[in-house]
Homo-oligomer: A and B are copies of this chain.
């Protein structure tokens, strides 16, 4: 590499009021220093864009600091080591790390994880990455599904939801998923093998649709959506139901609304519990072992929506909120295209 490596990176230009828009992002070029001892330079192949990043675009304290205005954004990414000042990484290694939203990243080596696996590298941004761990930890630790129970998952064709749905099937549950298009519905039934799908855009009364799809009631509701989905799940819940709360994408951009039937959580003894994936990093090796095996056995499948070109990352992010993705939304950089099989 040249001595004056240039990193193209997206900075936060402004904070969104409602839905995020392209104007909230600014593409900036920065000269990178040469790596110091313990640092590596990574050329990114794949970038992750995720709904939770919407929360980081507003200036409010949370479990993760907000993005700063005119500062680089970050997020999960996979790339190839291009320069290394750390003995644990060699040039050419594939690594996952958290310096996304840029094409070339100078990072501390200890923040990177080498990928040694037959699985495609971008799966470490999906079922074998943070979305997969969110599904695994939330469903198993909080949802505690038992064989024969009914599991309802919203955004079931999304990066997290699809893994939730398939793990629930593996655990012997009846699985109902909601999604917003017929294509996604087909993938869920034909590929992921779940028992029933609700296309929420085609039903007037989500509670009625869920009651019909879950005649025995819902024991676990894995919430990625909030809003009317959460209300419908409370209505359909059996006594002692467990609701892992993973995301509420319906609440992020507009006027938030609460579940008006929350009082029914008392009579039904529902447990609603929010969680953040980074609280469950202790499950990482169990998760890699189990989901890796399920993938190799064909029991966990995934799908991804690939947007080509680094400069299209903001559009890919914006499109998350209108449900344009099936499965994980990924941005593929030119170098990944060049290296396609």
Please tell me if A87 contacts chain B, counting CB pairs below 8 Å.
Answer: no
Q: Given the known A-B contacts A256-B260, A259-B262, A262-B259, are A274 and B279 also in contact in the complex, defined by CB atoms under 8 Å?
A: no
Please tell me if A267 contacts chain B, counting CB pairs below 8 Å.
Answer: yes
Across the interface, do A230 and B267 meet the contact criterion of CB distance under 8 Å? no
Chain B residues contacting A265 (CB-CB under 8 Å) are 245, 272-274
A338 CB to nearest chain B CB (Å): 39
Across the interface, do A261 and B263 meet the contact criterion of CB distance under 8 Å? no
Chain B residues contacting A267 (CB-CB under 8 Å) are 55, 62-63, 274, 276
Q: How far is the CA of A273 from the CA of B243 in the complex (A)?
A: 10
Which of A230, A245, A246 has the most chain B CB atoms closer than 10 A to its own CB? A245
Chain B residues contacting A255 (CB-CB under 8 Å) are 260
Please tell me if A275 contacts chain B, counting CB pairs below 8 Å.
Answer: yes
Across the interface, do B259 and A266 meet the contact criterion of CB distance under 8 Å? no
Interface size on A, residues (CB 8 A): 35
Total identical chains: 2
Please tell me if A158 contacts chain B, counting CB pairs below 8 Å.
Answer: no
A64 CB to nearest chain B CB (Å): 8
Which of A239, A259, A260, A262 has the most chain B CB atoms closer than 10 A to its own CB? A262
Closest to A223 in B: B266
Contacting residue for A273 out of B248, B257, B271, B276, CB 8 A: B271
Across the interface, do B262 and A248 meet the contact criterion of CB distance under 8 Å? yes
Q: How far is the CA of A17 from the CA of B324 in the complex (A)?
A: 44
Across the interface, do B239 and A263 meet the contact criterion of CB distance under 8 Å? no
Q: How far is the CA of A258 from the CA of B256 in the complex (A)?
A: 10
Chain B residues contacting A247 (CB-CB under 8 Å) are 266
Q: How far is the CA of A63 from the CA of B55 in the complex (A)?
A: 38
Q: How far is the CA of A269 from the CA of B134 in the complex (A)?
A: 13
Q: How far is the CA of A266 from the CA of B251 in the complex (A)?
A: 12
Q: How far is the CA of A273 from the CA of B276 in the complex (A)?
A: 18
Q: How far is the CA of A275 from the CA of B263 in the complex (A)?
A: 11
Contacting residue for A261 out of B230, B231, B246, B256, CB 8 A: B256
Please tell me if A83 contacts chain B, counting CB pairs below 8 Å.
Answer: no
A258 CB to nearest chain B CB (Å): 3
Across the interface, do B272 and A266 meet the contact criterion of CB distance under 8 Å? no
Q: How far is the CA of A231 from the CA of B247 in the complex (A)?
A: 18
Write 13 A-B pairs (CB below 8 A) sorted by A numbering.
A245-B265, A248-B262, A248-B266, A256-B262, A258-B259, A265-B272, A266-B276, A269-B274, A269-B279, A270-B273, A270-B274, A271-B273, A271-B274
- Chain A residues with CB under 8 Å of chain B are 55, 62-63, 226, 230-231, 239, 245-248, 251-252, 255-263, 265-276, 279
8 A-B pairs closest in CB distance: A258-B258, A266-B274, A265-B274, A248-B263, A258-B259, A251-B263, A271-B273, A272-B272
Q: A230-B262, A273-B273 are in contact. List 5 more A-B contacts (CB 8 A).
A: A55-B267, A255-B260, A256-B261, A256-B262, A262-B262
